[in-house]
Every structure is written in C-alpha cells, then in structure tokens.
Chains A and B, each alone.
Chain A
C-alpha cells in the first residue's frame, strides 16, 4: 500500500470512511500521523465535539418509545459520520456489539443513552474500568436480568455472559464459575422512577464468599478482577479486535504480540488498537466485509448526505443491523451474514436512496457522470481503483449514459458493488 492507500485503509476500517477532500488532506500528513490522531485525538488537539444526546427528551412514555428510540439512533448515526474523533465512535460501535444491549428490552432512551455514553467514555480507555462500569450499568442490569437476580436465587444471565462473551471466552470457565459470578453480582437494582439510577441493596446480595476462577469473590470489583486477570482475557479481547479491524483471515501469527501489548499496558485499549491497526498497515490484514451500518455511514460521509432516520432505520433493519437492537446477547453475526440476499438487496436500496439525495454538483456524481472511474473510486475511499469486474461493469454502464440525474445510477451501482462491501 502506498501512503494514500494506507490512509484510505485506516479510514475504511477505523473511521467510518472519509468526507470529500479528506483523503488529500490526510495523505499530505501521512498515514502514521493519521493513525496517531485516530488513536490519541486528545494528544493532538482534536476536541471531542458536543454531547451527541444533548437536547434529546426522555419522556419514558410507552407511546413515545419508538419515536424516542429513532431520535437516539438518528443522533448516533449523525455523530458517527460527523465526529472529529471517528475511532472513538468506531470503538463505541464495537463495544455496543461486544456488550450488546437491546433497546427492545431496555425500553427507555434514558438508560440507553447513558449506556452508550459509558461505552464512548471508555472506548479507547481502560478495559477493566469499562467492564466494571458496564456490570452495574442500568441498561445492562435490565437487559441481562441483574435487577431481578437475588442472593437466594441468582439469575445466571449476566454472570455467564461476563465470562463467555465479555472477558475470557468459552472453554475457560466451568458451570460452578458461572454460579459463583452470578451469586457475587447480586444486589443491584435499577429505579426507573428515579431517572434509572442504580442502587446496591445489601439485603438482595449473596454475602457468602464464592470461588470464581480460583479466586475468592464477593462483589462486582472482585468478580471483574478475577475475570480480567485471567490468562485468557488479553488474548480473547485481542483476537476479537484483530478480527474486527483486520478481517477474519488476518495473519494470526501476530495475535500473541497483540495480547502481549494489551497485557503489558494493563489492559489499556488504545495501545492494543494502535498495534492492530499498525500491523494492518504493514500488511497483516485480510479482506473485511463491512457490516450494513458502517457501510451506510461511510456512504453518507462520502456523498455528504444523510437518509432521514425512519428510512435509515428501516433499511438497516431489513439488512439485519438495526442499531440499538442487536439480535441477541452475542451482538451481530459474523461477516457471512452481510452476504445474504437481504443485505445485498438492501445495499442497492440504500445506495439508490442516497444518490437521489445527493446534489448533481456533488464531486462523486460528477465523476460518475463522465465515467471518470479513477476519481470516483478515490472519492469513495478506494484510491487504488476498482476491481476489474466492477470497473468494467461501471465503464460499460456509464457509456450508455443511463437515464435519470447525471451520475446517479452509476454512483448507486458503484456504492452497492462488492468493492465497497469488502473494505
């Protein structure tokens, strides 16, 4: 990869793509500098931007549940495309997939927005702190039944997923560990009538010391400590993030190195992400299939337009990835899911809706209208050009001067093509 290609690679995988003109500006400063501003924006004078949820109303009125959920999703999508700290937003999205919580069960935007704020606050921060806070987060307590888990009859839902999905992975714990974690985590309740604040109620807590992963645990702090200090934790999280950024077929010889970076930095997330992205720039990455949401955000960014919330949410639902409502506790399925007929057809529909919104003067549409495919590819984040199949298809199609707004149909096909699906 040359410098421009490296910048575009980082943008596609770690920054929700690029706005028009951004590639030139970033390439001038180089991929290494770009990586640093992504990983440590606070050290490079890049402000966080405003609170994406400011001004949202939380009525907690069941008849407004859907509208308020959509408003939250709209803010989030706009934030992902517009934030000056795109890797923080991309990692927040990763953690939403990792610590998957669904609005369907939480049912109120107040705890849900707080859950997202928590994910964002620690997105590149301290993993142990993130796990500690998520363990008593109101949305999570509601979603995985912490609120109804009591000392006399612990509910295993959160305890199991804490070990299996969030920290060490299957095969590294026993059923007795699940019971121990569940018992030690009891006692937390959420008070919906009091702004969804959380409260520890001693009488609901199982005070007996439990043995979790060989350690004596009694509460959230000791449970999280036992889990994140386990030998399996660093490689588990490192492997998940590596596959997330580098694709499922990345060079796994680099995994031990990633895990070591994570461990050596006391489970600080930023150094791990930096190491993974650095390895990607050096060629350790494989193909990566973009999920529908990152695909949509990148497409919106490159055209400078946004679908209205109802439309975006409807399409993302049809494609299988409505934000706020992951299908289950494990988050969204792997890359093969985004090759299904639903995701494929919906990509065409989203691309079409986007080009209809784009002004004819948009640089993307102008390049498409005249069949300037090198420029078109570059504007869509592929400075190395399209693959032969897509290039030939677009060349032939552009030559027919397709009906409709100039450049719109060609741009739609380019956006929906396999080239923009595989980052």
Chain B
C-alpha cells in the first residue's frame, strides 16, 4: 500500500549512517528544502522540477506553475438541488424539498437556476469562469459511499487500483528530489493522492496544526531527536512509513506556520460588514476551521508561498442529506459558495488566480425522488463544477435525464474521467496515458 521508495530517496546517504549523524542530515534536509522553497516566494514555483522525460504538455502556455485544487464534497452532494433544472419532473419528484422557482438564482444559461445559497457564484458563472457537468459519474460507483469513493479516487471505473488518479500523475512527474509538499490534503485523508512513490502531506485541521513540545526544553533539540528516529529506515513497511511521515510533518509545519503568519499580517475587516456582505473578509475570517471557506483560505496561502505545491485536495463533509435536507444543504452550499468566491478573489488580488483551476468531486448524486425524512437517499449521476479564469464557462455539459431514470436515479451520461482529464491537462499531463484512454474534454479549457 505504502511505498518506502520516496522515503529512501529522500534519506539518501543518511539511511546508511548512524542515527546520530542521521539527525543532522535530516535536519539539514528539511531546513534546506523549506528554506529553498520559501526563498522562491516570488511565486515562480521555485522548487518545481522539469517534467519527467516522455511527458506530454498541452499546447499553449506552460503548465509548470499550474495548481489544481480539488474540492471534495463528502457524503454525496445532491446535484439536483444544487444546479436546478427547469423541468417539471424535478418538481413532481420532490413535493417537499424542490427549491421554489421564485428562490432560484437565475444564470445566463438556459434551462437551469442555482440554489439560492450559491448566489455569490452568479457573477463568476455569468463571467464565464464556471462550467458544470450534469449526470456525471462512473459506471462502477454503486450507491455505497465507500465503493463510490473508492471508484472516484482510483479513477479506473471499477478496476482495482492501489493508487489514486492524482497519485499516478504525481508519480509520473516527480523529479529526482521529491518535494513532500507537492501534494497537500487539507481537512481530509487523501486516497486520490496516493501513488506508488508519492505520499501526500495530510493536514486534517490546519488551525490546530502545530508542535507543542515539553516545557522548558530546547525545541530545536527535541525536534532534531524526533527527526533522528526517522532514519535509518526499518525493513518493516509500516514502521518505515511511520518514519517517513516525520520529515513530511515537520516540513508541513514550517510551511503552515508561514501561511498563518501571512494571514495574520493581512488586514481583516473585523466587523464582517465589508462591501461584499456574506463573502466579506470578516465572514471569511469567522468561518469554522473545518469549513470549505477556511480550508480554501489555507490553500490560497500555500499557493501564494510558491513552494512547488501542484495539487491541493480540500475535503468537507456533511452532504449525506438523508433527512432535513433543505436546512442542511443550505448551510453546506453557502459555505461552498463563500469558499470559492473568497478563494479566487484573494488569488486574483495577488495576481495568482490565472494559475489555478478548481474542480469539485462527490461520490454520487442523490435519488431523484425525496424520502419521508425530507431528504434524499443515495443516487447515481450527479453535478460537478469546474472553476477558474481559464475555464470556458457559462455552460452545462450533459443533461438532466429525468425522463430516463435508472432505478429512480439520474443516469450517468458523462464519465467522471472527463473531469479528471481537464484537471490532468491543466497540470500538464500526460493525461490520456494516465487515464488509459482519451476522454472528451467538451472544450471546457
């Protein structure tokens, strides 16, 4: 499952030496990496390495500085109540929880309206920076959360895989000196980022991510001793994996300290009554630590540091709305809308937005008909978004085939790997090689 190769490659000569020496080598390695990376804070993706030989680049501008952000909506988002189709069957199927027509946010795309909580996205949608897929999914996903998540993470549509769709890209393009911060997961574990060689840095709660050391001790000495337990690597795979996690964790702490310092230095409107209301900086600063809003702000901070991070996975949960969906979904979507708006506003203000593409994922859409609990059960085809200045937006790919339901579910008309192909193209590929076939991009980039 986990490979020791990354760890061994990083350790280099240290693995062969005694731990006393190892500690010094490790400390230097981490310090050098973080310092070098942070020195490149000009944003030129200083530590990004050239593409591995044989990788193909998409035509046009260089993709070397591009960052892909995946916003994972855990639990199975209800696509029908997110991007609402103007068809009668929708309202017939949901007498209690259909969004009333008068409340829908109108957009410049015929046949759809947005859930009222997504109002902050209207401007970006109409400016052509957001596109949506309707009826997207994978044939093998099933209505099980776990089977569906595995299917989405692997990106192989049912073929068993120990690696994730982004982990394989990370493997294919990793340079000679791996950067443990090349892929970062915030707020969730990261099976999509697991490769044969690449291990993501996983930070569940950026707000609580810090080292507290024993009182009155020398912090550097304790940290160095902890680092020394990481080498030489054990022959036992889990022990070795636990060892390899140590330098990554210390590296990540150094970086997120910097992100926090940066955030504190940024002036925040404490009243939250800024010109943009619900998406004003006060509302963003007050957002709960595990909200998409807060996690995407951390992601923005990491992107601004320019430390060679190419893939950021942001995970939030709660979309499994079997009951009381109207209220719960409202809160969830309000967070998503605020998160995306504040994220791109911030990057735009710093001249970084053009390098960033955001896609949403969720393991399945929900049943078309409502249940007795004012909610919806697990379904099939769903709705996903692709967002960024580079997107050819203001369009919906696919259709709400409510006249052709499969076992009460929206059928899957678009393969999830079309969404993945766009993400991998953005990163520079080699997309078709990694996905094992050519999937339609629908001209969205």
Chain A residues proximal to chain B, CB less than 8 Å:
144-145, 148-150, 152-157, 160, 164-165, 170, 175, 178, 247-249, 287-289, 314, 317-320, 327-330, 333, 335-337, 339-346, 348-349, 352-353, 355-356, 387-390, 392-394, 396-397, 400, 402-405, 408-410, 412-413, 416-419, 421-422
Contact = CB atoms under 8 A, between A and B. Distances in A.
Given A156-B377, A349-B213, A418-B229, 12 more contacts: A148-B323, A148-B374, A170-B142, A317-B208, A327-B317, A339-B242, A348-B211, A349-B212, A389-B230, A394-B229, A396-B20, A404-B216
A289 B221 CA distance: 26
Contacts of B370: 153
Tell me the dominant secondary structure on chain B's binding face. Answer: loop
A413 B222 contact: yes
Contacts of B228: 389, 392-393, 396-397
Contact of B217 (A328, A392, A403, A419): A403
Interface in B1-60: 1-2, 18-20, 22-23
Nearest to B241: A339
Nearest to A152: B372
Contacts of A353: 212
B239 interface: yes
A341 B209 contact: yes
A328 B372 contact: no
B442 interface: no
Interface in B109-152: 142-147
B215 to A, nearest CB: 5
Contact of A389 (B75, B232, B375): B232
Contacts of B241: 336, 339
A153 B322 CA distance: 12
A336 B239 contact: no
Contact of A402 (B22, B217, B372): B217
Given A175-B407, A339-B2, A389-B19, A348 B213 contact: yes
A275 to B, nearest CB: 24
Given A287-B238, A317-B205, A342-B209, A155 B322 contact: yes
B214 interface: yes
B371 A416 contact: no
Contacts of A342: 202-205, 209, 249
A409 B203 contact: no
Contact of A154 (B239, B252, B372): B372
A329 B217 CA distance: 42
Contacts of A421: 242
A292 B308 CA distance: 30
B264 interface: no
A303 to B, nearest CB: 12
Interface of A is mostly: helix
Given A330-B145, A402-B222, A403-B217, A345 B209 contact: yes
A389 B226 CA distance: 10
Contacts of A388: 19, 232
Contacts of B215: 356, 404-405, 408
Nearest 6 pairs of A and B residues by beta carbon: A340-B202, A392-B19, A148-B373, A153-B372, A393-B228, A418-B242
B236 A318 contact: no
A346 B206 CA distance: 12
A165 B211 CA distance: 36
Contact of B225 (A149, A317, A396): A396
B394 interface: no
Nearest to B186: A342
Interface in B362-395: 370-375, 377-378
Question: Taking each of A175, A345, A356, A394, which has the highest tally of chain B beta carbons within 10 Å of its own beta carbon?
Answer: A345
Contacts of B212: 348-349, 352-353
B371 A404 contact: no
23 contacts: A144-B322, A145-B323, A160-B143, A160-B144, A160-B378, A170-B142, A288-B238, A318-B209, A339-B245, A340-B189, A342-B205, A344-B242, A345-B209, A345-B211, A356-B215, A389-B230, A389-B234, A392-B19, A393-B19, A396-B228, A403-B217, A403-B218, A412-B217
B214 A408 contact: yes
Contacts of A348: 211-213, 226
Nearest to A398: B225
Contacts of B203: 340-342
A148 B325 CA distance: 13
A409 B205 contact: no
A353 B215 CA distance: 8
A393 B229 contact: yes
A135 to B, nearest CB: 17
B378 A392 contact: no
A277 B189 CA distance: 30
Contacts of A337: 189, 202
A418 B243 contact: yes
A343 B209 CA distance: 9
B440 to A, nearest CB: 29
B214 A355 contact: yes
Contacts of B209: 318, 341-342, 345
Given A344-B249, A345-B253, A400 B221 contact: yes
A287 B202 contact: no
A413 B230 CA distance: 11
B335 to A, nearest CB: 16
A421 B226 CA distance: 13
A144 B245 CA distance: 36
A330 B218 CA distance: 41
Contacts of A145: 322-323, 373, 375
Nearest to B237: A287
Contacts of B236: 287, 422
A186 B399 CA distance: 35
B74 interface: yes
A308 B378 CA distance: 40
Interface in B393-411: 407
B419 interface: no
